[in-house]
Amino acid sequence: MDDESDSSDQGGGKPMPTEKKVTIDNIEERDYISVVWPGCQILCNFMIANPTLFTGSPNGSLSTGSPPPESFYGSYLQEPLPEGVGIELGCGQAHVSRVALKLGQPKMVALDNSPMIEELRKAVPFVLRERLFLMQCNIADMEDLNEIANAASVLGPVPYILASDLLYSETLFEPVLAAVDHFMKYSPECVFYTTFQNRDNTDIIYDLCAQYCLQPCLIRTANVHADGADREIQLIKMTRALNDGQALEKVFVGVEGGGTGTKIAFYRQNGTQVGSDIVLGATNPLLNGLEKVADLIAVSIRAFAKENDICLPVAAIGYAMSGAEDVKYIESFTDYLHKEHGDISEEHLMNSDAVVPLGGYFERGGVILISGTGSNCKVLTEAGQVFGAGGWGHMLGDEGSGYWIAHRAIKALIDHDDQFHVLDCSPEVVRKLIYDYFEVSCNTELLNFFYGEKFSKGHVAGLTKILSEHAPTDRLCAQFFKDAGIALSNHLLALAPHLNSMRRNVPVLLIGSVFESWSLMESAIQKNLREHHSHNVIKYTFFKIPEDSPVVCAAAHYAAKISGNKIQKQLNLDQVAQILIHSRKQ
């Protein structure tokens, strides 16, 4: 499928904030010349990739209260801590805390049993020293940790607790989780992020989570080589478990991704949208890379969820992605999301940006005909089978698309001037439109826009809108759209053998900017379908998508449907036209 076939509007949403340019090497090993264990690197890299999760207190009102007990203050903690302080357990060199501070966390408290606390403080850069409180604490001592945890009742909400490579011994499992539990009693929205090596006794950690009412969620599993051996490191987060009988409302996410822009939207089960759309750049996995696209989507979802008080993982995410045609590729994409971003969704359901809208808009199958920058056509049968025609890109197909129309106009002008195919009408209007659009004065100057660095399918396709504005008064411009109507209706004729279950009234969803010129193509589409009809199709009904039911919303409906759920609000479609085909009745 062409990467830019859906040219629907990408604007109107809220862009995600730009990530801070922080790297683990310029925080730890370069400045402090210390060993950084794999688990620490993995946790720090996760923090750097998701900065909005580690920049302050959680949403909601902050509690006020008495100062912490005197025994809570460390050697350098001479005043009550501010609300929203982050905690690091078993800090070692406090690498994780330093990352949090550089990402914008106002204050961090780092706890460790090391007698080198004094030396560690001296190693902290001056710019961070006033924001990092170092305290000596025996992590394995339940009483010592509980004394620290008692301060949670007067500190206000703790947004998160961090620990890397701390759960290396079974003797630490229970005291650490007990302390985390204590913090979460006073800060229910607190999240515990930790990394640990997967060992034979790791299951005990998950058993203790149930004992202390903690809900673990595996974010990713990383295979690393350290100390001459291969090791499996798990990054997990823990949140407060729900009480018996308490249930969260299910949330579904739709992702509409393509070569020109991307939208992400959250919907509750009752059909209401949470916030506004997330708007990103190009996310065609074939062009931008599978891992890069998946990482960008995951980071954006985490940031939005934090800002809007949405508990992750959501129930399901539906991906309507350009280029998602191959089953093995789809499996690779979703497997990567499960392995590297297991915290964002219980299910990842991906298909092309043609198939997903069909599953969202039509209960019993239908056809989607796309003509934006590129073109494509898919049919989804009532039995769930998918068949396609077209969608081979501008080099091999895209008949009837914006690029195809513009290319056809330019080629017609060149062939006329070269006397290959002399037109039977004047090309001068088309010539002026082409020259003005590309800002050239002769045909040879057009070469730069097709063979040089200036080549852009989207830019070439933009000429089509100019041609459409002159089609009502210029014969040659009008002919290009008649030809496009024939080319697009040929997609429907090619798929006619698969329309038996809906032949009495075939629903066709029109997507793409070319269909804004429907009136210029309708007669050619109607004539072509009637002259070449077959397989007993009686009628075609054409629809377009209204503003209140965008494709990204259909992707969320698709996710709910395929995962065995349902979003209560029905999607709407606007009828464009009906074409009756003179076929024998059955």
DSSP string, 336-388: HHHHH-TTSBS-EEEEETTHHHHHHH-SS-EEEEEESSSEEEEEE-TTS-EEE
The last residue of one of the domains, among 332, 359, 386, is 359
Specify whether the CB–CB gap between 84 and 61 falls below 8 A: no
301: containing domain: 247-359
Residue 580 placed within a domain: no
Q: Which of 240, 262, 245, 242 is nearest to 253 (CA)?
A: 262
Distance of alpha carbon 376 from alpha carbon 511, whole angstroms: 10
Helix (H) or strand (E) holding 465: helix 463-470
Inter-CA distances, 435 with 414, 418, 428, 432, Å:
12, 17, 10, 5
Pairing of strands 262-268, 506-511: unpaired
Distance of alpha carbon 552 from alpha carbon 256, whole angstroms: 5
Specify whether the CB–CB gap between 193 and 181 falls below 8 A: no
Tokens, residue 290? 């599978």
**Are 217 and 253 in a shared domain?**
no
Residue 170 placed within a domain: yes
**Are 225 and 251 in a shared domain?**
no
Distance of alpha carbon 373 from alpha carbon 3, whole angstroms: 9
Residue 177 placed within a domain: yes
- The C-alpha R_g of the chain, in whole angstroms, comes to 30
Q: Which of 114, 302, 110 is nearest to 219 (CA)?
A: 302
Inter-CA distances, 244 with 190, 247, 248, 311, 518, Å:
20, 8, 12, 17, 56
- pTM of the predicted model as reported, rounded to 2 decimal places: 0.76
Inter-CA distances, 91 with 113, 159, 519, 535, Å:
9, 17, 68, 71
* Beta carbons within 8 Å of 508's beta carbon, 6+ residues apart: 366, 367, 368, 369, 492, 540, 541, 542, 543
Distance of alpha carbon 125 from alpha carbon 32, whole angstroms: 10
The last residue of one of the domains, among 359, 387, 412, is 359
The CB-side HSE value for 162 (13 A sphere, CA atoms) comes to 30
Residue 191 placed within a domain: yes
**Length of the chain measured in residues:** 586
The last residue of one of the domains, among 225, 240, 255, is 240
Q: What is the pLDDT of residue 148?
A: 66
Residue 342 placed within a domain: yes
Distance of alpha carbon 575 from alpha carbon 563, whole angstroms: 29
Q: What is the pLDDT of residue 288?
A: 75
What is the domain-level CATH number for residue 350? 3.30.420.40
Q: What is the pLDDT of residue 546?
A: 86
**Are 179 and 267 in a shared domain?**
no
**Are 58 and 195 in a shared domain?**
yes
Q: Which parts of the chain have pLDDT scores under 50? A: 1-12, 14-34, 57-80, 583, 585-586
**Are 45 and 101 in a shared domain?**
yes
User: Around Cβ 247, how many Cβ atoms within 10 Å?
Assistant: 7
Phi-psi group of 400: left, alpha or beta (phi > 0 → left; psi -120 to 50 → alpha; rest → beta): left
Q: At residue 250, what are phi and psi to the nearest 5 degrees? A: -70, 140
Residue 267 placed within a domain: yes
Residue 150 placed within a domain: yes
Specify whether the CB–CB gap between 136 and 159 falls below 8 A: no
**Are 340 and 234 in a shared domain?**
no
**Are 193 and 123 in a shared domain?**
yes
Distance of alpha carbon 275 from alpha carbon 277, whole angstroms: 7
**Are 226 and 283 in a shared domain?**
no
**Are 186 and 88 in a shared domain?**
yes
Helices 428-438, 402-417: axis angle to 10 degrees equals 120
**Are 231 and 255 in a shared domain?**
no
**Are 184 and 331 in a shared domain?**
no
Instruction: Please report the sign of the dihedral spanned by the C-alpha atoms of residue 98, residue 99, residue 100, residue 106.
Output: positive
* Beta carbons within 8 Å of 35's beta carbon, 6+ residues apart: none
Task: Give, rounded to a whole angstrom, the gap between the first and last alpha carbons of the chain.
Answer: 35
Residue 456 placed within a domain: no
Question: Which amino acid makes up residue 481?
Answer: F
Structural domains in the chain (count): 2
**Are 128 and 261 in a shared domain?**
no
